[in-house]
Amino acid sequence: MSDPRIQRLADVVVNYSTELGEGDLVLIQGPELAEPLIVEIARAALAAGAIPHVRASIQGVDEAYLAAAGDAQLDHLPAYALEEMDAIDARISIHAAWNTRELSGIEPAKLARRSRAAQPVMGRFMERSAAGDLRWCVTAYPCDAFAQDADMSLDAYTDFIYRAGWLHLDDPAAAWRTYAGRLRGLADRISEVRTLRVVAEDTDLSVAVAGRTWIASRGERNFPDGEIFTGPLETGTSGDVRFSFPAVMGGREVQDVRLRFQGGRVVKSEAAVGGAYLDQMLAMDPGATVLGEFAIGTNYEVTQFTKQILFDEKIGGTCHMALGAGYPDTGSVNRSGLHWDMVCDLRSGGEIHADGEVIYRDGAFLPSFFADDLAVPVA
């Protein structure tokens, strides 16, 4: 018998996250090793009246392509890529891997070049998403590669993933609906703030957010979920930040990243390991040195760092920020081929100040600012 949590996950992403309905064309993408979940999502989509279109990826193909591709190929954006982006009503992406270091032998400049070429597609994706024309969700499927990065067995990691989505509950969607209401309350409350200041070890960073929209990320676009985020004012970030967790991207790990911002831009970057890669990514395009996102993780079922951003950025008691492209629906106007999330742990002594007043300490909002419970709602 298959793990019933796979069906619950499929049900939640189809009927809660993306709310697929009659005639919706949904692109389901993920590595072929996630086949059990791909099949269940396709089934749930059919039951909802939608038309599933599966785009699976195959181990080793991306590496073979990137290793052999020249500049002309990396720069080539097929016309159909935009057409496809226009055609779909929804997209469900499944994160999983055979090997998270699959691309470690590929020159980072090649990856950056391909991302740059794909920028119009990412732009169109974000526009359609902001206009409400495209619903999407990113989820994950348990695999050995992710488990290994998290220092866990596959069984332990499987439990971790499903617990993070509250799939151990009989009716996870109901719990997410209740939680969504509370999280919206938090987003409304924080919308009154003009400037946030994050204070932690080696960190004192001011982020201007006045007039920007805060979004309660409640299991629609990411699953599991649990964060509130916005797009900071592009010229309003200043000060220093040190990311307690390694920053992971494209199969590479950059450790102990420290950034200094002035007038919204990174003016100094340092890392204990992987500094050259960090600098290459920051040099990708002008938008890559500007924050596209600032967010606070609010899923208190996710407690440990596992080197998968989908989970790490949700850890209750952390904040994160992304260099590069911002989400237009937050009001961000930053454009880039990059979107690199980096996480800062605030659970031991971290503070967030709002326009001069402390609102958050040691990984939780102070009741004076937000009194509602952000733990998993149980019926």
Give the end-to-end CA distance of the chain in Å, rounded to a whole number.
28
Length of the chain measured in residues? 379
Rule CB under 8 A: is residue 56 a binding residue for another protein? yes
Judged by CB under 8 A, the residue of 3, 15, 25, 99 near another protein is 25
Nearest distance from C-beta of residue 10 to another protein, angstroms:
11
Give the residue, chosen from 10, 27, 323, 343, that forms a contact with another protein under the rule CB under 8 A.
Answer: 27
> Which CB sits closer to another protein, 64 or 283?
64
- Using the minimum distance from each CB to another protein, give the nearer residue, 3 or 35: 35
Query: Of 27 and 208, which has the nearer Cβ to another protein?
Result: 27
- For another protein, the closer of residues 43 and 182 by Cβ is 43
* Cα–Cα distance, 139 to 10 (Å, whole number): 10
- Interface residue with another protein among 2, 21, 65, 178 (CB under 8 A) is 65
Contact 337, 116 (CB under 8 A): yes
| Residues between 80 and 99 with contacts to another protein, criterion CB under 8 A | 80, 83-84, 87-88
> Could you give the CA distance from residue 353 to residue 344 in angstroms, rounded to a whole number?
15
Angle between helices 119-130 and 108-117 (to 10 degrees): 50
53 is a contact residue toward another protein (CB under 8 A): yes
Residue 283 CB partners (closer than 8 Å, separation 6+): none
Nearer to another protein, 94 or 233 (CB): 94
Interaxial angle between packed helices 108-117 and 275-282, expressed in degrees from 0 to 180 and rounded to the nearest 10: 20
Of the residues 3, 7, 15, 46, which one makes contact with another protein according to CB under 8 A: 46
Which one among 3, 7, 15, 35 touches another protein, defined by CB under 8 A?
A: 35
By CB under 8 A, name the one of 1, 68, 378, 379 that touches another protein: 68
Provide the binding-site residues for another protein, judged by CB under 8 A: 23, 25, 27, 32, 35, 38-39, 42-43, 46-47, 49-61, 64-65, 67-70, 72-73, 76, 78-80, 83-84, 87-88
